[in-house]
């Protein structure tokens, strides 16, 4: 005999503490391609993922250090984040995670390719319902990202795209 404990999907609602109020514009937006550039980009992304503790994430970087300091400072559920040091296969890992649809968040820091590849990535994100977050040192000139943010210290500035609805 077995017991059915529940049939509903896990709640991906964010946990927000009053003392650590998030930037109002940055939240889980399924199917969108975001770009965050600047020195504090990884910290802002880690804080976003931390607000959704039951939501798994894949974090792919071309050259990932073992445990980046800016990520380590954020209190997030590390057992829900799959960190991948992709090396020369980082772009392949990105498309694999996005197409799988298993991760509501996919973070990527690595080479992106041309506009055609960016447009394909945008379509794949929309189809799978995955929020793809691109980490860049400098803002890209590409118009494929739905929203583009610039990280300046503790503040995040929306530089392209409208207010998410």
- Give a yes or no: residue 145 inside a domain: no
Let me know if 33 is exposed, middle or buried by CB neighbors in 10 A (0-12, 13-18, 19+): buried
Mean pLDDT of 4-31: 53
The count of domains in the chain is: 1
- Give a yes or no: residue 79 inside a domain: yes
What pLDDT is stored for residue 99 in this prediction? Answer: 95
Q: For residues 17 and 160, which has the higher predicted lDDT (pLDDT)?
A: 160
Q: For residues 60 and 15, which has the higher predicted lDDT (pLDDT)?
A: 60
What pLDDT is stored for residue 128 in this prediction? Answer: 94
What pLDDT is stored for residue 162 in this prediction? Answer: 61
CATH classification of the domain holding 112: 3.40.50.300
What pLDDT is stored for residue 138 in this prediction? Answer: 81
- Give a yes or no: residue 155 inside a domain: no
Does the pLDDT of residue 113 top 90, yes or no? Answer: no
Least confident of 4-13, 53-62, 88-97, 141-150: 4-13
Cβ atoms of 6 and 119 within 8 Å: the answer is no
pLDDT tens-digit readout, 78-90: 899 999 998 899 9
- Give a yes or no: residue 15 inside a domain: no
- Give a yes or no: residue 45 inside a domain: yes
- Give a yes or no: residue 83 inside a domain: yes
Expressed as residue numbers, the domain containing 95 is 30-126
- Give a yes or no: residue 164 inside a domain: no
pLDDT above 70 as % of the chain: 82
């Amino acid at each position: 005999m077995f017991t059915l404990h529940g049939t509903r999907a896990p709640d991906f609602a964010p946990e927000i503490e009053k003392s650590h109020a998030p930037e109002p514009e940055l939240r889980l937006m399924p199917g969108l391609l975001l770009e965050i550039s600047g020195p504090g980009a990884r910290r802002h992304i880690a804080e976003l993922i931390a607000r959704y503790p039951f939501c798994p994430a894949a974090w792919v970087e071309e050259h990932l250090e073992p445990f980046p300091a800016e990520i380590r400072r954020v209190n997030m559920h590390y057992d829900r984040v799959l960190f991948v040091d992709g090396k020369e296969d980082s772009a392949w890992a990105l498309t694999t995670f996005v197409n799988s649809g298993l991760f509501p968040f996919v973070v990527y820091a690595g080479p992106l390719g041309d506009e055609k590849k960016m447009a394909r990535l945008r379509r794949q994100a929309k189809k799978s319902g995955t929020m793809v977050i691109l980490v860049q040192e400098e803002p890209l000139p590409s118009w494929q990202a739905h929203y583009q943010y610039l990280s300046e210290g503790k503040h995040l500035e929306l530089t392209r795209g409208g207010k998410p609805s």
